[in-house]
Structure 1
Amino acid sequence: MLNPIKPTTDPAYDILGSERQPLQAIFSPQTVAVIGASDRPHSVGRTLLWNLLSNPFGGTIFPVNPKRKSVLGVKAYPDLRSVPEPIDLAVIATPAVTVPEVIADCVALGVKGAIVISAGFREIGPAGMALEAKIREQIRHSPLRLIGPNCLGVMNPRSGLNATFAHTMARPGNVGFISQSGALCTSVLDWSLPENVGFSAFISIGAMLDVGWGDLIYYLGDDPHTQSIVIYMESIGDARAFLSAAREVALTKPIILIKAGRSEAAAQAAASHTGALAGSDAVLEAAFQRCGVLRVSRISELFNMAEVLAKRHYRLQGPNLTIITNAGGPGVLATDALVTTGGHLATLADQTVTQLNQVLPPHWSHGNPIDILGDADPQRYTQALEIAVQDPNSDGLLVILTPQAMTDPTQTAERLKATVDQLQNTPNQNKPILASWMGGSSVAAGEAMLNRSQIPTYPYPDSAARLFNLMWQYSYNLQGIYETPILREDWESGGPDRAIAADLLQTAQQKGRNLLTEAESKQLLAAYGIPTIETRIAHSEAEAVEFANAMGYPVVLKLHSETITHKTDVGGVQLNLGHPDSVRQAYQAIARNVGENSPDFLGVTVQPMIFRDGGYELTIGSSIDPQFGPVLVFGTGGQLIEVIRDRAIALPPLNSTLARRLMEQTKIYQALQGVRGRAAVDLSALEQLLVRFSQLIVEQRCIREIDINPLLALPMDTSGPSLLALDARVILHDASLPAAELPKLAIRPYPIQYRQTWQSPEGNAIVIRPIRPEDEPLIVQFHQTLSEQSVYFRYFHLMKLSHRVAHDRLTRICFIDYDRQMALVADYKDPVTGEHEIWAVGRLSKLHGVNEAEFALLVSDRHQQQGLGTELLRRLVQIGDDEGLDRITAEILPENRAMQRVAEKVGFTVQRRPDWVKAEIQLSKTS
């Protein structure tokens, strides 16, 4: 049976052991050297040493100071080489110019981790950047991991480690906090103590010379004590590493982030419509949504959301809130806050209103907010809540209490707690219930009771409403990861005509041109299956008339130029030409406006005049973001595109789910579904057009900017194409730019290069290819073919089919990050029925913090002993070599002899022990 690997390497349940996590030396060291330790009052070196001494962490501390025999009563050493024991962690607080030499000693002595507190690096200019370059070169081929420079340090409150120069120690708890600002760290620390907020880790990340966001997110994701991760960010650094780590961890632990500096620099620098719309902060917003990170705008919201989401992983189904209140004013305040931050009041169902009429006084509001009046007692609150929570239109509830003559805040809180406890034990009941107990000391006892019961409670209803919207945004972001996309087209066989596209682009670049003509741009779109309007190039009046006669009137004439990008601006567009004379006049007008003998004028294009009655003008485009590379823009198009500014941004590549998400975020989306008697457009076709456009951007990396404006979307009942690109503009990178220096995608696209065919001994043609998110239904069918023995050999225990095919689990198995995992499936297509079937799955999972991976194989029982497992493992090893890995390993059950033989056949060294077998191969990295 070809099924190795213990359960911990199941990608849906992988938790890396701490002994293989290099950052463990920083967060749980046994020996710490403080380099620059001092007893000078108020110095950083003194504070660091004192914090370590006064917060016992179970390890040994070695002060390093060449001028002191002891510091704060502890024996000191003149340099790191004089320390008598191996050092796990070096905390460095010496002048910046000395740090490269100190790091060189750390590397030579095998120190595992370093925290550089010292300032004076990139923040001072070229001299500081040169110091950073020296340090980076020293650690490049070393296992040493470094946090900083210019940081506050690191705390592990659970172990007692305080390797910072903060004035106090954080409380132990379950929130992992990472900040790029040392000053904000101290402020948050001061705030957290009276608020009784505790931390599993408290990290000042500094300049991220080595350890970055991705490293720390992976570490906290593996840490069993961390329930949620809170981030204060000023710059993202390695965008791909952040997105990769955040997407993986956000599936199991909430990540809440506040990002400072909403810069529009990228938008100001852009020349195209798309670039003008895609500001850098908007791209960040799209990136956070893509990986399931929740972005907030207030520091208080950071910890409120961390607390709420860590207590219970709510998965809201929509943004519709029901408000129950005993006073009209607070209900209105909550409504204003809800609507202005993107939420909606739930529309009460008729049945809900009927039931409320039976228990509430006649003068209740008869709508949402549900005003149960000022004399409401605890029973009335309970009855209203029990009815409202069952409303199918509601996604959550907010209960507001103001102290009035008949109000009993404490007893109402008791009733609310009991009701919430009962609801939480009800199957399929995941609606959050929030509370706002207004009134200060008079409601304090009830408020405390609700907080102890883990019911999110706030003194003001507008804060609670904003929190509900953040909960919905968090759920919405995660749904984009969990939702299985629909495979409507097979891009691996057929699909785009890449040869035509590549020839168009190469020809233009060879001629020294960075701008495609409109005709060339439309040819490029057509090569990727994007419908375009018929376009012919006329070099004379006679040709223009000839083409117009052939097309039929009316027609449009546009400037044909290799240099002018916006034709309308120079009078290069003539519309609605109904006869030959008007075509001649239009040709002459365009030539006159541009200059008939100008090199900018190469003739005109002739196109049919498309009447847009009943249709919508859209835009699709892409430009380069300095941090994230190519980004996509979709929204309302036409001449007023910059004025209307209705657009949404996404990172390529897209699938059908992500394309629909992009559409949903625009205002025009509501109209596209049909409005005021107008028929809807074909949203499925538009969805697939976005997927094709995304594929174009991913594959043709020499494109710098591209706009389709307008893209005409016509109602589905219209004859002919429902989508039509009327105009397009493409700008290329300079041909002299090497391929390695072209902007990289922030998210690795589908690795089509690993798709190959294989013929089984029985003569079956198998496609071995990387897994896709759309494969989830096929993986469900695959698991139905497995015997108990195959399942046991794969997972080291029996796992129920219902568990193996659970949607949340298969999402992580199918919708993978190709930078972190590479899963190959053996895809067989029945030649008679055309149905696909997966026969085997092989997976290569990179380990956190080390340049290694573990492999796993699972072959359907019907297709074992046919060489399929050997072929998959051989290809996984080659992929590991291509990806630059150092080593691949696996652990195999002793009784799984077949898998051991396969591993040996492919070149693995197999070490057999009584209770386990380890397979290992060192990679040559010759590719």
Structure 2
Amino acid sequence: MGKHVFESLFHPQHIIVVGASERPHSLGERVLTALLRTPFQGKITPVNLRHKTVGGLKAYPNINRVAETADVALILTPPSGYEALFKACHKKQIRHAVVVQDWENQCAEALLPAQAALQKAAYPGLNITVCTPAAIQAPACGLNSGIYPGHARQGDVSVISWHAATGAAIMSVLTRAKLGLSRHISLQPGLSPTTSAPLLDCLEAAPSTRLIVLEYNPDEPLRDLFSAIRHITRQKSVILYCTHHTTPQEQAILRHLSRYCSFLVTFTPDELLAGIHALACGKAHAEKLHVIANTPCDWLQSQAASLDIAVQMAPRNPRPSENHNGYIGSNPSTLHYRGLAESNLQSSHTEALLAVVVPTADSNEAEITHVLRQLQQQHRKPLFISSPLSDGLLQFRNTRQALRAFSYHHHNHKLKQLRIQTAKPLPGYLKTPDLTEVGMHLDQPELLLKALHLPDPNTATTPFAARLHFYYHTRYGALLFADSPNGNIALLPPFNTLQAERLIQQLDLKRSQKVIYQLLHSLNSIIGQMPQITDIKISLSPGNHSSEITVLQETHTASRIRAPYPAPVRNTFTLKNGQTVPIRPLTPEDAEAEQQFVQNLSEKSRQSRFMAHVKALSQSTLASFCNIDYHREGAFTATDSDGSLLGVSRFSCTHYPAQCEFGISVAENMHGQGLALCLMQEIIALAAQQGYHRMTAEILKTNQPMLKLAEKLGFTVTPSPDDSELYQASLSLLPSANNSKRKSKQ
């Protein structure tokens, strides 16, 4: 695959600076100075209407006069000229137009021509990005296109911010932790057509990036954003930093999305600092934390408990120097402190160590901190240092930050484990609502609840065990919020049995298990089908459940964050033997059936499908096959009368939106029935709908039926350049050239 289109934004070979100037303190002077101050490896061409040279560089009166094309046009001029500049960039075949202004100090009237020009600039091949004055930094190529000092240290942390101040704060944390920067871009909220999702797709393919810190902008397309995050967290770590005010409901929603997409969410600067340290350290996973300190440290117990951390503290000892897990005395020597830390890290009982260093009578805390810093680099086990002289990764000025970092270090591992969980099948007692009957009783609450198989509208007794509230959030769409004395949880549809189990376990609702399962099942049936049902409340009490329901004639503007299950092109398919089978999307509850389907395949079929000798799917593969993000992936299945899978076709993202990869298997007794063709047509249609440009696959040369099917569907089949045993199949999902030209003219 070629490089992502935004790769040239971070590693340009040629930048045209429109509005470059020598006028002191002007934007054009400050940006050009920043570009020349760093060792930028590419070419810089100023554009200035009045001067033939700027800063010793040859200047041109406009973009059209520049002989060579460029990767980036950096536009620093007032908004009144944007429309003409975008047109000139398109004519010059420049891929990126980056607009930089101090937008926060612009009057409202100045924003209007910028907004009008951005709305008109729909030029194919031209990507427009509107930035704050922090603009773009990429130390690997010496690029700093903003007015702020560049982060000179090159590293593996990338930052996407939506405010210059937030970007500067993140840079300060990276500097203190002695972490280097891979890339930083500071977008302007409300103006930039470029959003976080395509930038995340670009960073996914960047080997120089290991951790991404992303400022959360709730006003950008959220389904695109969280789908991109979920995809990139398969390989890299992501921290979502929420800087705007959040209600308890929104915090619960973001924590739910954190579990679904495997990112770490932070809400305060202290949380962000701890999160960056935890995810950047690359240390081994740990669940328990040992402590040594040159000060009495029993007070750490309450701090650790508030963060739900298991701290290993030894009981009080009259000879503290022999207590290796807690207070080691007020005035230990440097070597004594180091020896205790080393012995703890060497012990098989220690998973992680917190070393607390406070000023002593001998004032040797600087030496102790220094030797602990060296020890920290020699061990895979995490060593957290709390010292007033802290300066580096996993080093903190106070113990609470250190404890929070350990908490995030452990939580990040739990997020990865959640990703490989699979859902149980739907319970047999569930009843699917008849939507016709539901529609007949929209004005009769009691009958409507009965049609939805929900509890009667009785008065619930107190104390309540939990209250469940389904409603439409103005930003996040359909939402189920659960509140109980044990905490609160938010869930987003489509709901599944994994979410039901989480509600039951976390809120201790075992006695209400059937009600919860039925509620989620009924909600899945009506969301999108019955938009008039806008509010359902269920109160759960021991031995008593009650419901309230509200029906309104209104339209909801907020789209669902998680993509709904897609409607198949055809709901049923008639096999050549005359049997009719249903076609539907694969769901998380199909995990057991999927595993059984694979195990029932012949050894030859499994070899053809997975190109390896497998008897069953691993837990991680099974989870990835069934926990599908239908915004970027897809899978369809056909089932028989008892629910067994007869065939499964799927595609997954390899490089969004450039390419996806398909796979298909059908049961042995379905060969020659035409089912494979039907299932392939379903995923081809869905992949094209999701915006993919191409669908590909590698096929064994011995798999003649699949090769014939691919050719029948229009795939181009060629020998693989990398493996003599394989063919490559490729199908363009873009409209034909004639259709593209017609649309362009229109």
Normalising by structure 1, what TM-score? 0.69
Which whole-Å CA distance do the structure 2 matches of 1:783 and 1:49 have between them? 60
Matches of 2:121 and 2:43, distance apart in 1: 26
- Residue 869 of structure 1 corresponds to 676
Is the aligned partner of 1:819 residue 2:616? Answer: no
Task: Write the distance in 1 (CA, Å) between the matches of 2:213 and 2:181.
Answer: 10
Rounded to whole Å, the distance in 2 between the matches of 1:707 and 1:299 is: 37
Q: Which residue of 1 aligns with 2:315?
A: 371
Partner of 2:435: 498
Superposed counterparts of 1:181-330, under 5 Å = 181-193=163-175, 195-207=177-189, 209-233=192-216, 235-264=218-247, 279-299=249-269, 301-312=271-282, 321=288, 323-325=290-292, 329-330=296-297
**C-alpha distance in 2, partners of 1:121/1:130?**
16
Q: Provide, for residues 836-879 of structure 1, a one-character-per-residue CA deviation record: whole Å limited to 9, x for no partner.
A: 44343322335645365443334456654543332222222233
Matched, 1:807 2:616: no
Give, in whole Å, the separation in 2 of the partners of 1:313 and 1:447.
16
Unaligned runs of 5+ in 1: 1-16, 265-277, 347-367, 385-398, 425-430, 506-515, 534-606, 637-643, 674-680, 715-722
Letter in 2 for 1:824: F
Q: Deviations over 1:625-669 (max 9, x none)?
A: 222122212224xxxxxxx8964322222212223334555xxx3
Structure 1 partner of 2:406: 468
C-alpha separation between the residues in 2 aligned to 1:845 and 1:239? 20
Task: Please report how far the alpha carbon of residue 251 of structure 1 lies from its aligned counterpart in structure 2 after TM superposition.
Answer: 3.7
Match of 2:31 in 1: 48
Q: CA deviation at 1:254?
A: 2.1
Contact 2:688 2:733 in 1 (8 A): no
Contact 1:230-1:303 at 8 Å conserved across structures: no
Which residue of 305, 326, 346 corresponds with 1:339?
A: 305
Task: Give 1:50 deviation, angstroms.
Answer: 3.4
1:353 aligned residue = none
Q: Deviations over 1:302-343 (max 9, x none)?
A: 3543343344476677xxx555446784231x22222234x1
Q: 1 CA distance for matches of 2:242 and 2:579?
A: 53
Distance in 1 of aligned mates of 2:693 and 2:370: 60
C-alpha change, 1:300 and 1:44, in structure 2 (3 Å) is farther
**Structure 1 residue identity aligned to 2:317:** L
Q: Structure 1 residue 629 and structure 2 residue 442: aligned?
A: no
Verify: 1:414 aligned to 2:342, yes or no: yes
Equivalent positions of 1:575-654 (< 5 A) are 612=461, 616=464, 618-636=466-484, 647-654=488-495
User: How far does the alpha carbon of each residue in 1:154-208 deviate from its partner, in whole angstroms, 9 at most, with x for none?
Assistant: 1222333323222233311111112111123234435534542112212212226
Counterpart residue identity of residue 373, structure 1: N
The amino acid across from 2:265 in the alignment is R
Task: Give the root-mean-square deviation of aligned CA atoms.
Answer: 3.6
Does the C-alpha gap of structure 1 residues 854 and 228 become closer, same or farther in structure 2, counting only changes over 3 Å? same
Task: Give the Cα–Cα distance (whole angstroms) in 2 for the partners of residues 313 and 495 of structure 1.
Answer: 48
Instruction: Give yes or no for the alignment of 1:484 onto 2:408.
Output: no
Compared CA separation, residues 38 and 371, structure 1 to 2 (3 A) = farther
Q: Note if contact 1:757-1:765 (Cα within 8 Å) is conserved in structure 2.
A: yes
Counterpart in the other structure of 2:545: 724
1:850 aligns with 2:657: yes
Asked if structure 1 preserves the Cα contact closer than 8 Å seen for 2:294 and 2:357, the reply is: no
Q: In structure 1, how many angstroms separate the alpha carbons of the residues matched to 2:358 and 2:580?
A: 69
Q: Which residue of 2 aligns with 1:542?
A: none
Q: Is the 8 A contact 1:256 1:293 kept in 2?
A: yes
Q: 1:663 to 1:471 in 2, by over 3 A?
A: farther
Cα gap change, 1:731 to 1:856, in 2 (>3 Å) = same
Residues 1:645 and 1:168: Cα distance change in structure 2 (over 3 Å): same
Which digits, 9 at most, give the CA deviation of each residue in 1:86-143, with x for residues without a partner? Answer: 221222211122223212222233222232212449974466255224313313x523
User: CA 1:894–1:65 in structure 2 vs 1: closer, same or farther (change >3 Å)?
Assistant: farther
Task: Tell me which structure has the larger Cα radius of gyration.
Answer: 1
Structure 2 Cα separation of the partners of residues 815 and 122 of structure 1: 46
How far did 1:53 drift?
3.5
Summarize the alignment of residues 5-154 of structure 1 with structure 2, pairs less than 5 Å apart: 17=1, 19-120=2-103, 124-125=107-108, 128-129=111-112, 131-139=114-122, 142-154=124-136
2:685 is the counterpart of 1:878:
yes
- Structure 2 length normalisation: TM-score? 0.85
- Name the residue aligned to 2:385: 458
Structure 1 partner of 2:362: none
CA contact (8 A) 1:616 1:712 kept: yes
- The equivalent of 1:604 in structure 2 is none
CA distance in 1, matches of 2:327, 2:438: 60
Identify the structure with bigger relative contact order (alpha carbons < 8 Å, sequence gap 6+): 1
- Contact 1:325/1:331 (<8 A) preserved: no
- Determine the structure 2 residue equivalent to 1:509: none
Inter-partner Cα distance in structure 2 for 1:27 and 1:744: 32
| Helix, strand or coil at the partner of 1:39 | coil
Query: In the superposition, relative to structure 1, how do residues 370 and 296 fare at CA in structure 2: closer, same or farther (>3 Å)?
Result: farther
How far is the alpha carbon of 1:817 from its aligned partner? 0.7
CA distance in 1, matches of 2:695, 2:211: 31
Q: Deviations over 1:340-364 (max 9, x none)?
A: 34x1557xxxxxxxxxxxxxxxxxx
Q: Is the 8 A contact 1:121 1:132 kept in 2?
A: no
Q: Which amino acid aligns with 1:817?
A: D
Distance in 2 (CA, whole Å) between partners of 1:757 and 1:192 is 56
Structure 1 stretch displaced more, 911-920 or 654-663: 911-920
What is the aligned partner in structure 2 of residue 528 from structure 1?
A: 452
Mapped pair 1:784 → 2:599 = yes
Q: Tell me by how many angstroms 1:922 deviates.
A: 4.0
Structure 2 counterpart of 1:157: 139
Tell me if structure 2 keeps the 8 A contact 1:96–1:118: no
Contact kept in structure 1, 2:460 and 2:541, CA below 8 Å = no
CA, structure 1 residues 805+771, in 2 after alignment: closer, same or farther (shift >3 Å)?
Answer: same
Between the aligned partners of 1:864 and 1:49, the Cα distance in structure 2 is 66
SS at match of 2:629: coil
Mapped to 1, the partners of 2:702 and 2:35 lie a distance apart of: 50
What one-letter code is carried by the residue in structure 1 that aligns with 2:306? T
Measure how far apart 1:821 and its partner are: 0.7
Q: Quick one: percent identity of the two aligned structures?
A: 24
Are the counterparts in 1 of residues 249 and 490 from structure 2 also a CA contact under 8 Å?
no
For residues 663 and 123 of structure 1, the distance between their equivalents in structure 2, rounded to whole angstroms, comes to 52
* Separation in structure 1 between the aligned mates of residue 227 and residue 91 of structure 2, nearest angstrom: 32
**Distance in 2, Cα, partners of 1:76 & 1:417:** 61
Please say if residues 413 and 449 of structure 1, whose CA atoms lie closer than 8 Å, have aligned partners that are also in contact: no
2:369 aligned with 1:444: yes
The answer for the alignment partner of 2:393 in structure 1 is none
SS at the partner of 2:649?
Answer: strand
Q: CA deviation at 1:35?
A: 1.6
Code of the residue aligned with 2:595 in structure 1: it is V
Letter in 1 for 2:614: L
- 2:566 corresponds to: 751
SS at match of 1:464: helix
Deviation for aligned residue 1:728: 0.9
Tell me how far apart the structure 1 counterparts of residues 330 and 589 of structure 2 sit (CA, whole Å).
54
Counterpart-to-counterpart distance in 2, 1:175 and 1:401:
37
Q: Counterparts of 1:730 and 1:880 in 2: how far apart (Å)?
A: 37
1:444 CA drift (Å): 1.6
Residue 782 of structure 1, CA deviation: 3.6
Aligned partner of 2:422: which letter?
T
